[in-house]
Amino acid sequence: MCGLLMHASLAVTTEGLPLGLGAVKFWTRTKFKGTDALKRTINPTRVPIEQKESVRWLENLRRTTELFGAPDRCIHVGDRESDIYELFCLAQELGTHFLVRTCVDRLALGGDTTVDAVMDEAAVQGVHAVAIRDGRGHVSTAEVELTYRSLRILPPIGKQKRYPALTLTVLHARERETPADRPRIDWKLLTDLPVLSNGDAVEKLRWYAMRWKIEVFHKILKSGCKAEEARLRSADRLVKLIAVYCLVSWRVFWLTMINRSAPDADAGIVFTDREQEILDFLVPNKVPTRPGSNTLGICLTKLAKLGGYLARGSDPPPGNTVMWRGMAPLIDITLGSEIAPQLVGN
């Protein structure tokens, strides 16, 4: 087996609008099969971070922090794979912030207890209702108990000479009982930001929920751009192709979300005059309007209709799938309209 692996960092606002990619890391392996078996013979905590693939989390954190130039305004959100003590120390060194979901029960306080043991004894400080969507799209409400406190966290035993102890905030959000039809919600988050009230805790939960945006980006990259179906024969060419796909995937995602956050904006921030004319020709307005008067929301709805969106009154806003389906014919028709005059001599 051979191939490439990619680790991307997506920048989003607190409202969920994707701003672009902060960093993308490509790499490959000399061995693809059997790598999980190595964990049974090697203690990962004793291996320097520089010799592990997880160093990509640190490299992307450093790169995005440098790119944005405002480390104190950035919060780096990651799932359980990013529960890396070296990442916490690097964020402190760079003056930026992090919010990660934990998978390791770390040593706490003086080293004679763990984070889970301390939090199990902590009193519940609030209850928060969250909306849950099942596999069929049905929405229900679940109540999670909030527990949070500041703790002294120690590095792994094998790394205590290299890294200092850190004072971090531990936030647990947990359902009281396990539902019959789905797993129990049990989020254990770790951050260097203060959590002093229930409002702060809910804010951090909402920020962590934004992590799902990177999954949506990957869906567009794989299903919309079909990046995994590329059959170029060299790694260098694949990297260049996927880099372009990343830009296209972000733009599709951005179009979907900007349609929901700023539908009354000028359509010119997205579409050229020619593209607007083509959209008006392919999907005419029910009520005639003067040229160039369409809002961004109107043009994006027309784009979605090219991708199969029905735009019925009860339909939700168009999603990424109809957006990428609509972009393909719009780009082809626009290119054809630009080339045709040169071919026929008009």
- In this prediction, residue 32 carries a pLDDT of 63
Mean pLDDT, range 207-233, rounded to an integer: 94
- In this prediction, residue 44 carries a pLDDT of 66
Q: Are 259 and 300 in contact (CB under 8 A)?
A: yes
How far CA 35 is from CA of 30, 38, 43, 235, in Å, comes to 10, 5, 13, 21
The Cα 222–Cα 211 span in angstroms is: 18
- In this prediction, residue 341 carries a pLDDT of 83
Q: Rg of the Cα trace of the chain?
A: 24
Per residue in 122-162, pLDDT (tens digit) is: 999 999 998 887 767 678 888 999 999 999 999 998 888 89
Interhelix angle 296-306/273-282, nearest 10 degrees: 60
- In this prediction, residue 40 carries a pLDDT of 64
- In this prediction, residue 34 carries a pLDDT of 59
Per residue in 303-334, pLDDT (tens digit) is: 999 999 999 988 999 999 999 999 999 999 99
- The whole-chain average pLDDT of the chain stands at 90
- In this prediction, residue 346 carries a pLDDT of 56
- In this prediction, residue 146 carries a pLDDT of 96
Ramachandran assignment for 23, one of left (phi > 0), alpha (psi -120 to 50 degrees), beta (any other): beta
Per residue in 59-91, pLDDT (tens digit) is: 999 999 999 888 999 999 999 999 999 999 999
Per residue in 227-240, pLDDT (tens digit) is: 999 988 888 999 99
The pair of structure tokens assigned to 99 is 């919010």
Question: How crowded is residue 54: how many other Cβ atoms within 10 Å of its Cβ?
Answer: 17
Split at pLDDT 50, 70, 90, the class of 342 is: confident
